[in-house]
């Protein structure tokens, strides 16, 4: 459990969101004179490696590194990130191209390590029937660490240089190296034919993609992710007149909600009947999305941020628990990474669609209700999930 929390904690401290996220955005805006659109474009490019996760999964499922399936990959990724941050900390001047190249490189290594951590969670969790608990531990690590990074990053932005932030960012991957070296016990494996391994992984994945109930789970991922949530930042800035500092705190509160929700997910999943749990999570997410219409001041914004964090992580853990149970042996990394990439893509489309509707004149409150209705549409997928829901 601790190792899973550590692996996701390193991820949150390094790149998702990362200690340097707010300082870099501040540097781009104040030192390089970037507009909001240009900063958003920088962040979008930095996130691109996360869409390559199915390819990373295929590599991890098919090839061992120095005889290990997980340990060697994690050590290489964390070493890359640590030395990358240390190298950047020695510079005193940062151009756009240099920053973008460094951030993408670190994002690539962290995204790869995330796939390794997920495969490790699936294989160990299935063997001990603890996948829900291990998923919860991962997201507790991500939520708590991510909230801390947002708060600390905002504080550091006003007080230290970007090079100091990069130096501090090297601490998390260094702890990750130590933790993996000491805590991850993994037997060496015989290396088989590389092409044969790739063929088996692709074959098992393709066979799964042709199953009706698995396609139902994937459809649930799309419907749950593609929710036209209104652009909260513009509403909070333009209508509610929140400061950027307070909006940053709201992101931290949301991640704290993520950690709290993940903490109790495993126990709730074991207590409640699968059918009721699926319906309950979908209903809770619809209520959470609709609650955005009630955002009127700082108090309601904080409560809604925490509520959204809890309901959002329950939905995420639920659908990926369904994916985990369907993952074929030997293709766990590929299938799970494919599902995560699809979820990320659906969420991105939902945000773009919601922003488009908002710019078209639909009010924030109306969009919140539309988003809630879109979430309830997930109930139409239930006929595809009879086996997973205990029906």
What is the tens place of the pLDDT at every residue in 100-109? 999 999 999 9
218, 339 contact by CB (below 8 A): yes
DSSP labels for 193-228? -HHHHHHHHHHHHHHHHT-HHHHHHHHHHHHHH---
Query: Does 214 share its domain with 148?
Result: no
Same domain flag for 379 and 297: yes
Residues 255 and 132 in one domain: no
Instruction: Quote the tokens at residue 274.
Output: 């699968």
pTM, entire model: 0.74
Number of structural domains the chain divides into:
2
Q: Are residues 179 and 237 in the same domain?
A: no
Contact in structure between 73 and 189 (CB atoms under 8 Å): no
224 vs 315: CA distance, rounded Å: 8
Return the top range by mean pLDDT from 57-61, 112-116, 127-131, 204-208: 112-116
pLDDT for residue 272 = 67
> Looking at the structure, do residues 151 and 101 belong to the same domain, yes or no?
yes
Are 289 and 355 contained in the same domain?
yes
Q: Is 271 helix (H, G, I), strand (E, B) or coil?
A: helix
Last residue of a domain, one of 158, 191, 224: 191
* pLDDT score for 152: 83
- Specify burial of residue 197 (Cβ count, 10 A radius: 0-12, 13-18, 19+): middle
Q: Answer yes or no: do 207 and 175 share one domain.
A: no
Q: Last residue of a domain, which of 156, 191, 226?
A: 191
Interatomic CA distance for residues 237 and 382, integer angstroms: 39
- List Cβ neighbours of 143 (8 Å cut-off, separation of 6 or more): 12, 255, 256, 257, 258, 259, 260, 261, 262, 309, 313
CB 317 within 8 A of CB 135: yes
Name 356's Cβ contacts closer than 8 Å, sequence gap at least 6: none
Q: Which of 244, 34, 263 is nearest to 138 (CA)?
A: 263
Q: Which residue has the higher pLDDT, 56 or 196?
A: 56
Same structural domain, 307 and 220: yes
Q: Say if residue 33 is in the same domain as residue 175.
A: yes
Neighbours of 75 (CB within 10 A): 19
Tokens matching residue 304: 């809604």
| 64 vs 294, higher pLDDT | 294
With 0-12 CB in 10 A as exposed, 13-18 as middle and 19+ as buried, what is 16?
buried
Q: How big is the chain by its Cα radius of gyration, in Å?
A: 21
345 and 247 in a common domain: yes
Instruction: Report the C-alpha gap between 105 and 80 in whole angstroms.
Output: 9
What's the pLDDT tens digit per position in 254-265? 888 887 887 777
Residue 68 Ramachandran class (φ > 0 left, ψ -120 to 50 alpha, else beta): beta
Token duo for residue 49: 């490696």
Q: How far apart are CA 260 and CA 267, in angstroms?
A: 12
Residues spanned by the domain of 40: 1-191
| Whether residue 205 is found in the same domain as residue 129 | no
* Residue 169 confidence (pLDDT): 93
The pair of three-digit structure tokens given for residue 53, joined into one six-digit string: 């996760």
Domain endpoint, select from 191, 211, 243: 191
Q: Is the pLDDT reported for residue 125 higher than 80?
A: no
Q: Which position has the token pair 């659908």?
A: 319
Residue 253 shares a structural domain with residue 146: no
* 3-class state of residue 64 by DSSP: coil
Long-range contact set of residues 40-45: C-beta below 8 Å, sequence gap at least 24:
42/96, 42/99, 42/100, 42/103, 45/100, 45/104
Provide the pLDDT confidence category of residue 190 given band limits of 50, 70 and 90: low
* CA dist., res. 277 & res. 272, Å (int): 6
The whole-number average pLDDT for the span 50-77 is: 83
CATH of the domain at 52: 1.20.1250.20
Q: Which residue has the tokens 């009010």?
A: 363
Flag the least confident range among 2-11, 286-295, 314-323.
314-323
- Give residue 299's pLDDT: 92
């Amino acid at each position: 459990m601790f190792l899973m929390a550590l692996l996701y904690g390193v991820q949150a401290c390094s790149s998702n969101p990362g200690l340097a996220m707010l300082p870099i955005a501040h540097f781009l805006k104040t030192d390089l004179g970037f507009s909001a659109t240009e900063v958003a474009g920088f962040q979008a490019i930095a996130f691109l490696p996360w869409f390559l996760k199915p390819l990373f999964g295929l590599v991890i499922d098919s090839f061992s590194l120095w005889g290990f399936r997980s340990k060697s990959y994690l050590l290489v990724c964390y070493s890359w990130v640590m030395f990358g941050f240390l190298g950047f900390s020695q510079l005193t001047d940062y151009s756009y191209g240099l920053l973008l190249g460094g951030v993408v490189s670190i994002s690539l290594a962290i995204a790869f390590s995330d796939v390794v951590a997920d495969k490790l969670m699936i294989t160990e969790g299935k063997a001990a029937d603890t996948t829900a608990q291990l998923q919860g531990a991962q997201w507790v690590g991500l939520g708590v660490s991510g909230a801390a990074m947002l708060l600390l990053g905002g504080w550091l932005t006003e007080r230290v240089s970007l090079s100091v932030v990069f130096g501090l960012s090297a601490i998390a991957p260094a702890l990750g190296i130590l933790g993996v070296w000491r805590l991850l016990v993994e037997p060496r494996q015989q290396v088989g034919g590389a092409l044969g391994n790739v063929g088996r992984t692709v074959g098992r994945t393709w066979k799964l993609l042709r199953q009706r109930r698995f396609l139902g789970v994937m459809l649930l991922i799309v419907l749950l992710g593609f929710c036209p949530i209104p652009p909260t930042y513009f509403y909070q800035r333009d209508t509610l007149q929140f400061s950027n500092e307070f909006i940053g705190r709201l992101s931290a509160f949301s991640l704290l909600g993520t950690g709290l929700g993940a903490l109790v997910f495993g126990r709730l999943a074991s207590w409640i009947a699968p059918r009721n749990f699926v319906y309950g999570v979908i209903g809770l997410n619809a209520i959470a999305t609709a609650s955005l219409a009630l955002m009127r001041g700082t108090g309601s914004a904080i409560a809604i941020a925490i509520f959204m964090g809890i309901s959002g992580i329950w939905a995420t853990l639920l659908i990926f628990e369904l994916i985990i149970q369907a993952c074929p042996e030997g293709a766990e990394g590929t299938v799970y990474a494919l599902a995560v990439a699809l979820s990320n893509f659906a969420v991105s489309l939902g945000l773009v669609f919601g922003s488009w509707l908002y710019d078209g004149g639909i009010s924030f409150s109306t969009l919140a209700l539309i988003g809630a209705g879109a979430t309830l549409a997930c109930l139409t997928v239930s006929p595809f999930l009879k086996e997973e829901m205990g029906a």
